[in-house]
Structure 1
Amino acid sequence: MSRTRRTTRPGGSRRLAAPAAALLAAALLASCSSDAPEDDLADDPAASQDAENGDEQSEFFDQADYERQLKLAETAPEGPADKPWEQMLDPQAGGMADTSEYAMKDKARHLCFSNAGVFNPWRQVGLKTMKAEVALHDEISDFTVLDAQGKDDKQISDIQELSGKDCDALIVSPNTTATLTPAVEEACGKIPVIVFDRGVETDCAVTFISPVGGYAYGAAAADFLVDEVDKGGKIVALRISPGVDVLETRWSAAEMAFEKAGLDVVEVKFTDGDPSKTKSIVSDALARHGQIDGVWMDSGATSVAAVEAFEDAGEDIPPITGEDQQDFLAAWQDKDLTAIAPTYPTFQWRTPVIAALKILNGEEVPKEWTLPQPVVTEENFDDYYKEGMPPLHYGACGCEDLPGYPGDWGGE
C-alpha cells in the first residue's frame, strides 16, 4: 500500500495515498460517512465527548500533506485558462501514466461509470455535468451509469458487472474506501480504471482525479477570518460530522490558523447538516458569549441558517464562511455579507470523461490529476453567482458552456 489516508467530499470515503498524493475534499452531511462504525463512538464515552467538542483532528493530520496542499493552492495550473476542469496542478509530481496499451483505433468508445450515488445536491449537479460532457464527444457511442445508492455491496456488484461488460474504460467514484478497494483492484486487472472524487487504498487506477484538498479549503476560510477579525475575537466553528478525513483536515488547518493568529474559538459544534440545529447552536453561542466576531464552517450546507440566527437575535452578521451553493451566494449578495466561499468544484465531474478519452487515445495522463480549487471572494463573486439558478445549485460547476444549460440544471 503506497498511499496516505484520504477522503473526498460527498461520501466521506477514505483512501491511502502516496506521499505525492493529495488529501481530497468536501462534504454534506447526507454524504458524510467514515469507514469506522458510528457505534464506536457510542461505546466510548470519551470518544463521544471528543467528537462533540470537535477534537478528533489529530489522528488525521499529516504535516507534509498540509504543507503540500497549501503550496498547491498557490501553484499556477497548467492547461486552458478558461477550462479549469482540464487544468492540472504540478502534474509531474506523481508521474505520468503511459497509456499506450489502452490505445484504440477506429472504434467508438463505450464509457462506464460506477457512481456512489446522487444522494445530495452536489452529486446531482455533478452527474448532470458529467452527462453533458459526454454529449460533447461523438466518439462516445455508449455511456452506462450504475448508481450504488450509497451502498457498498451494490457498488461492488456494479463494478464487477461493468468490468465484465464491453466497457472500454471504467470511471469509479467509490462509496467508501477500504470496502471498495478489492473491487477496484479486481477491475484494474480487466479494464482501464479512472477513480475520482473519492479514493481507494490502491494506486492501480490509471489516474486519480481530485481538487487540492481539505487542508487548502479549511485554511482559505480561516485565513479570511484572521484578516477580518481582531486578535482575541470570538470565533464559532460549525462542523458537519466527526471522523471524516476531509472534514477533519479542513478543521485542523483552520484550528492552526486561529491559534497562530490569537483568535478565541469559543465554540466548536457539529450541526449534522441540520439548519434548525445550526440556528440553535449560533443562538446559544450568542447567549453565552454576548458577541460572536466570526463564523467558520467546514461546509456551506447550513450557512444561510447561521446567518438567520444572527438576524433573529437582532445582531449584526459577522464575517462568515460558506460555499458556492447558490442560496449562500444569494444571501451574501442580498445582505451585503462580509464573506468568503471555498469550493469543492463540481466541474471535476467533467474531468474523468476527458481523462478516459485521453487514455483510450493512448495519451499520457497524470497518475495524480490535481485540479484547481477556486475560492469565491468579493472580487470574483459574479463568476459564481448565477441569477435564476436554483438554491442548491453550485456555482463552480463549469457547466455554463454545456448543452442544456441552464434548464437541465434547474435554471431559468
Structure 2
Amino acid sequence: MRRSIQSKVTVVAAAALLALTACTTDPSIENPPAAETEGGEAATTPAEEWFDQEAFDEQSEQRSASFIGDPEQPWLQYLEGEMTDTSEFASEGAKKVCFANASISNPWRQTGWITMNQQLEVLQEQGVISQMETRDAQDDDNTQIADIDYFIAEGDCDAFIISPNSTAAMTPAVERACETGKPVIVFDRGVDTDCATTFIHPIGGFAWGIDTAEFLVDNLEEGDKVVALRILPGVDVLEQRWAAAEKIFQENGIEATDYFTGADPTEIKKIISDELATGDVQGVWMDAGDGAVAAIEAFEDAGKDYPVMTGEDEMSFLRKWEETGLTGLAPVYSNFQWRTPLLAVERIFAGEEVPKEWVLPQTPIPEEERADFLASNEGMPDGHYAKFGGTDLPGYPEVWQERQIP
C-alpha cells in the first residue's frame, strides 16, 4: 500500500545560502552567517515540478555505466558520448586562465578550491598555465555576471572557466564568453546553453536521490517513518535529489516528512527531537551531509535507537557513523571535479578532444569502504571531503589539513 508523503518545512532565508551543495558544522571552518529561520509550516515547491523522468532514467543507468579512463584517476574519467574537436585551439606556450567562481562559501567548495590550486601549481610548473586570474562572486548572480563581463572586456584570457552561481541567470554571460571564440569550460552546475567547449560535472542530483532512497528502502519496512533534512529550496541539484528520493519513497510505502534546515545544526536537532517526541523515526535522509552529527546526537539525547541514515562523504559524518555503528551510506557529489577544468585546459591547448559533456563518476561510500576512507583521510578536519582526489598533488596532506585557502 502506498502512503502519501507529508511535507512540513521550516522556512529558511535562502539568499545567503544559494551556493550551498555541501557544508559543515566544524567550527574550524569559516562559513557565512547562518540564515535566520522562522517557525511554522509553509508550502514548498512540489517535488514533481523538479522531477524529470528522462533525466532520472539516464542518471540511474549512468550509476552502473563503464567510465572511460583510469579508475585511479577518476577526475579524468568520462562517459562515452559526443566529443569536442579542439584542434583549432592547439598552440604552444603557457596560457592564462580566467576563472569566474560562484563562491568558496562552504567547506565543499573550500575543499575543492584548495585541490584546484594545488593542481594549478603542477600545471604552472609544467608550463601549461601561466596564471589563473580568479574572481569570486560570493554567491551573487549579478556579481558573477559582472565578473565574466570583466574578463571578456579585459581581453587577455586564453580560456574561461565558469562555476555558475545559478543556471538561468548565468546563461547569457556564458554565451558572451563563448562569443569571444576562446574555449569555455563550465563545471559543477550547468547553464541553459550548450555553447561551452565542455561541461564538467558528476552524474547528478537524481543519481544521488536514487542511491540514498534505495538504500533506505532496502533497510526499512513499509510504513516506516523517514525524516528528510534539506538545506534549502530552489537549487536544481538539491531539488533533483529530493524529487528522486520522494518518488522512490512513495512507490515503496515509506512515510517521509521533509524539512528545510538552512544547514543549522540547532534547527536540525530541534526538528529531530520534535519528531521523536511524537513517535518513532526509523530513517533520516539528507540532501547534504552538513548537520548529520547533530541529527544523530538528537537520537542519543532522546535515548532512541539510531536510525538508518544517509549523510555525505564529509569527515564528520564518516567519523560519527563509525563511532555509532548505525546503518548508513555516504553519498558523494564528487569533490575531485575541481581538478578536471584545469586538466581540460591542458588537453584543449594540446588540441586533444574533450567530452562535450564530461560526466564524472559519482560513487557512494558504503560501510565496507568506510574504514579505508577514514584511514586515507586521517588528520583531516571534519569539514573535509573524503573523495577530494588530491593525494598525488603537492602539499598533501598539510595544505588540506591546515585549510590553506588561497
Q: Which AA in structure 1 matches 2:385? A: Y
Kindly state the Cα deviation for residue 404 of structure 1 after the two structures are TM-superposed: 0.5
Give the Cα–Cα distance (whole angstroms) in 2 for the partners of residues 252 and 243 of structure 1: 12
Q: Which residue of 1 aligns with 2:294?
A: 305
User: Deviations for 1:137-175, whole angstroms, at most 9, x for unmatched residues?
Assistant: 212222221212222222222212223332211111111
Please give the TM-score of this superposition, normalised by the length of structure 1: 0.85
* Counterpart amino acid of residue 300 in structure 1: G
Amino acid corresponding to residue 283 of structure 1 in structure 2: S
| Equivalent residue number for residue 104 of structure 1 | 91
Structure 2 residue 308 is matched with structure 1 residue 319: yes
Instruction: Give the Cα separation in 2 of the matches to 1:287 and 1:235.
Output: 14
- Partners in 2 of 1:161 and 1:269 — Cα distance? 39
Alpha carbons 1:297, 1:321 under 8 Å: kept = yes
Residue 200 of structure 2 corresponds to residue 209 of structure 1? yes
* Distance apart, 1:397 and its partner CA: 0.4
2:53 corresponds to which letter in structure 1? Q
Letter in 2 for 1:129: T
Cα pair 1:26 1:214 within 8 Å, conserved:
no
State which of 225, 231, 234 in structure 1 corresponds to 2:225.
Answer: 234
CA distance in 1, matches of 2:195, 2:267: 42
CA apart distance, 1:27:
4.4
- What SS class does the counterpart of residue 42 from structure 2 fall into? helix
Residue type matched to 1:70 in 2? S
Task: Name the residue aligned to 2:341.
Answer: 352
Instruction: Give the Cα–Cα distance (whole angstroms) in 2 for the partners of residues 11 and 109 of structure 1.
Output: 34
Alignment match, 1:187: 177
Asked whether the equivalents of residues 103 and 360 of structure 1 are also in contact (C-alpha less than 8 Å), the reply is yes
Deviation at 1:177, TM superposition (A): 2.0
Q: Is 1:406 equivalent to 2:397 in the alignment?
A: yes
> Match of 1:238, SS?
strand
Output one character per residue of 1:85-130: Cα deviation in whole Å (capped at 9) or x when no partner: 00002x31xx11111111112x122222111111111111111101
What residue ranges of structure 1 are gaps of 5+ in the alignment?
1-9, 14-24, 32-41, 43-47
- Structure 1 pair 213/12, CA: closer, same or farther in 2 (3 Å)? farther
The equivalent of 2:43 in structure 1 is: 50
Residue equivalent to 2:321 = 332
CA distance in 1, matches of 2:145, 2:252: 46
Q: Are the counterparts in 2 of residues 12 and 245 from structure 1 also a CA contact under 8 Å? A: no
Q: Which residue of 1 aligns with 2:241?
A: 250
How many matched pairs? Answer: 369
For the residue of structure 1 that corresponds to 2:167, the secondary structure is coil
The CA deviation at 1:410 is 2.1
Structure 2's unaligned 5+ residue stretches are 1-15, 25-30, 33-37
> By how many angstroms is 1:339 displaced?
0.6
User: Which residue type is aligned with residue 146 of structure 2?
Assistant: S
Do 1:12 and 1:27's aligned partners in 2 also have CA atoms closer than 8 Å? no
Q: Name the CA distance, whole Å, in 1 between partners of 2:252 and 2:18.
A: 29
1:411 Cα shift?
5.2
Identity %: 49
1:59 is displaced (CA, Å) by 1.1
- Contact kept in structure 2, 1:303 and 1:328, CA below 8 Å: yes
Matched residues in 2 for 1:242 and 1:154: separation? 21
Separation of aligned partners in 2, 1:157 and 1:219: 37
TM-score of the two chains, using structure 2 as the length reference = 0.86
Q: Deviations over 1:46-93 (max 9, x none)?
A: xx8322xxx52111111000000000011121101101000002x31x
Amino acid at match of 1:387: E
